[in-house]
Chain A
């Protein structure tokens, strides 16, 4: 037991001891699924599974990007507000183009493109302020969180921005329909998670993120372009927020100052539950996906049963977040 801790994740579980760092989140997920199936027969129905997976997609897509930011030792608190802002801009652009472009696929594509562009730009602003102006990520994104939230409130005049009904009818299937019975948000989430996992494990970029997160100085001396990699993580996250918004807008066709509230904390919680280290240096995308599913399953279960007072939903989530991390830590402390 004197080998370095860096190899712990890769070593297979020996004997009867379960490596909670690897299996903790998955065990928690399985326990939740079994509990759900026992408590309500509709829990595993096609409709309910689709609902839960599709509603996880927004936070999930964002959390994949957040995994990279956190792994490289950063943090982004602005993603929830950013999503609301992007949704607002997207709706305004599509509504404004309606008279000239008419109703059609074209206008939806322009809306989607604008979401990606605004997301990229927002991520670039965060990233440049952090890497070039050398301000703490926490402070920068705390600032932009407030800025984006105010901008959406101002754009909506304190109310709600609604997508024109005719455009909405064309755009609606992006959330509600799918391929072979699998809803689009689920497909997009799955594809992004797989790509994310591959980038994290098999590319130089993924390894650089972990290197910067565990020791920035050493990474720099090892010829890693620290600022460039850092900047890329924020831009990547910005684009993913744009994609999440593309999936979000067709659901209710509206954006207001209440959109995306606390998404940033849910995404961060999912990343941590999944086993990524908050201080950086180690990250895994599949864990994040499991974390997102755990969080939305808890919500779903509490709605499907009368187990606890609805006032306590937040408390249950809090307990599970802490428990998930404690289980993972115990193993480490024991060494």
Chain B
């Protein structure tokens, strides 16, 4: 309903102003603003790549769509970006992957109140029913799938260590679901520390875990950047044969190792950075077609093993 009216209004508006050539161009083109965090770690780098790739493809496919992409390195900057888009670029829709939920909720709500289409990606806002479309990965699912893999592959229990990400809701949801999944399985979590989704930090944390615990059977690195650091620390200690590492998010180098049947990296869990592409595509559909796209779109976390690794391997992506 809404959508139809909007499309109708747009068409009508276009027809009415057609004689005013200069203005006509502006009116018939829908401008979609995309605001995402800057590439501060591997996953965000992949997300930036997919955002740009999707925008390029869509601009080629639809002549009447224009995109404004901005990347922010902190929540404050992201708020300014969105205000600038509203003030100077006259956007018709906003696709936003909030840096943090709380500080972005107000500004995004104001965009909605101006009558614009709002798509929220990955991190939900702290108030419900602001956005028209919500596209996200499944964070509890990410932790649960990982936990289930540990339970399945450690039937007799064992000792594991966990590397956590940057302290955020995302990280908490994942870890809670993971802990719930391994509960009662005899798997003991020796230690949990924050590796901040960063290779250097996780390298150092893993070095210290290795000094501290003489017996570790497996590592839940919970992210592929952290898995890289952890694997290097394990290699330095010469304890490669003792433990395997489960990362996550599907970095191409890790998928490659899963494909090759590496015993140290037996599996991976997806949390695709390409979800930003899904969000932009769906938002674009709202302006170029009549199909309904409002609602929620949750992209499940899937276990990648040697059998299905090939379909998750994207050699061109930076991540």
Chain A residues within CB distance 8 Å of chain B: 40, 42-43, 45, 47-48, 51, 55, 153, 156-160, 162, 176, 251-252, 254, 256-259, 299-300, 303-304, 306, 310-311
Interface residues of B in 106-163 (CB under 8 A from A): none
CB-contacts of B33-79 with A (<8 A): 38-42, 44-46, 48-49
Q: Closest chain B residue to A43 by CB distance?
A: B211
CA distance A40 to B49 in the complex (A): 44
Contact of A158 among B49, B164, B167, B200 (CB under 8 A): B49
Contact mask for chain B residues 16-45; partner A; CB cutoff 8 A; 1 contact, 0 none: 000000000000000000000011111011
Q: How far is the CA of A311 from the CA of B196 in the complex (A)?
A: 11
Q: Is A176 in contact with B200, judged by CB distance below 8 angstroms?
A: no
> Is there contact, CB below 8 Å, between A303 and B209?
yes
| Given A55-B204, A303-B193, A303-B204, CB of A40 within 8 Å of CB of B212 | yes
Across the interface, name the chain A residue whose C-beta is closest to B198: A258
CB of B229 within 8 A of chain A? yes
B200 CB contacts on chain A under 8 angstroms:
252, 258-259
Alpha-carbon distance between A256 and B39 when the two chains are bound, in angstroms: 9
16 other contacts beyond A257-B39, A258-B200, with CB at 8 A cut-off?
Answer: A43-B211, A47-B211, A47-B237, A48-B208, A55-B207, A153-B38, A157-B49, A158-B48, A159-B39, A159-B45, A162-B253, A258-B42, A258-B198, A258-B225, A299-B204, A310-B164
A157 proximity list for chain B (CB < 8 A): 45, 49, 318
In the complex, residue of chain B having the shortest beta-carbon distance to the beta carbon of A165? B253
**Chain B residues whose C-beta falls within 8 Å of the C-beta of A299 in the assembled complex:** 204
Interchain CB contact under 8 A, A42 and B253: no
- Ordered by A's residue number, 7 sampled pairs between the chains whose C-beta atoms are within 8 Å are A153-B39, A158-B38, A251-B203, A256-B42, A257-B39, A257-B40, A303-B209
B34–chain A nearest beta-carbon distance, Å:
14
Known: A42-B211, A303-B193. A159 touches B167 (CB 8 A): no
Chain B residues whose CB sits within 8 angstroms of the CB of A158 once the complex forms: 38-39, 44-46, 48-49, 318
Closest residue of B by beta carbon distance from A175: B236
- In the assembled complex, the Cα of A40 lies from the Cα of B167 at a distance in Å of 26
Distance (Å) between the CB of B215 and the closest chain A CB? 13
Q: How far is the CA of A259 from the CA of B201 in the complex (A)?
A: 10
Report yes or no: A304 in contact with B212, Cβ–Cβ below 8 A: yes
Question: How many residues on B have C-beta within 8 angstroms of the other chain's C-beta atoms?
Answer: 38
Task: Assess whether A256 is in contact with B211, with CB atoms less than 8 Å apart.
Answer: no
Whole-angstrom distance between the alpha carbons of A311 and B194 in the complex? Answer: 8
Q: Which residue of B lies closest to A40 (CB)?
A: B212
Taking a contact as CB atoms under 8 Å apart, the answer to whether B205 and A303 are in contact is: yes
A160 interface neighbour in B42, B48, B192, B205, Cβ under 8 Å: B42
Measured in the bound complex, the distance between the Cα atoms of B167 and A150 in whole Å is 25
B232: interface (CB < 8 Å): yes
Q: Tell me which of A51, A259, A306, A311 contacts B211 (CB under 8 A).
A: A51
Q: Is B228 an interface residue (CB 8 A)?
A: yes
**Complex contact B194–A159 (CB within 8 A):** no
Nearest chain B CB to A45's CB is how many angstroms away?
Answer: 6
Chain B residues, CB < 8 A from A162: 253
A101 nearest CB across to chain B (Å): 24
Determine which residue in A40, A55, A158, A251 has the highest number of CB atoms from chain B within 10 A of its CB, and name it. A158
Quick check: is B199 within 8 A (CB to CB) of the other chain? yes
Kindly state the separation between the CA atoms of A176 and B233 in the bound complex, as whole angstroms: 10
Among B42, B44, B228, the residue within 8 A (CB) of A252 is B228
Contacts of B191 in A (CB 8 A): 306
State the Cβ distance, B86 to closest chain A Cβ, in Å. Answer: 25
Q: Hey, which chain A residues are within 8 Å of B41, CB to CB?
A: 256-258
B319-A159 in contact (CB<8A): yes
Is B236 in contact with A176, judged by CB distance below 8 angstroms? yes
**Minimum CB distance partner of B42 in chain A:** A160
Chain B residue at minimum C-beta to C-beta distance from A311: B167
Q: A47-B237, A299-B204, A311-B167 are in contact. Are A254 and B228 (CB under 8 A)?
A: yes
A160 to chain B: closest residue by CB: B42
- Cβ–Cβ contact A252 & B203, under 8 A: yes
User: What's the nearest-Cβ distance from chain B to residue A54, in Å?
Assistant: 9
* B44 nearest CB neighbor, chain A only: A158
Contacts of A251 in B (CB 8 A): 203, 232
Q: How far is the CB of A113 from chain B (nearest CB, A)?
A: 24
In the assembled complex, the Cα of A138 lies from the Cα of B85 at a distance in Å of: 32
Q: Which residue of B lies closest to A159 (CB)?
A: B318
- Distance in Å from the Cβ of A52 to the closest Cβ of chain B? 9
- How long is the Cα–Cα vector from A45 to B213 in the complex, in angstroms? 13
Which residues of chain B are near A45, meaning CB under 8 Å?
A: 211
A42 to B212, CA, bound (A): 6
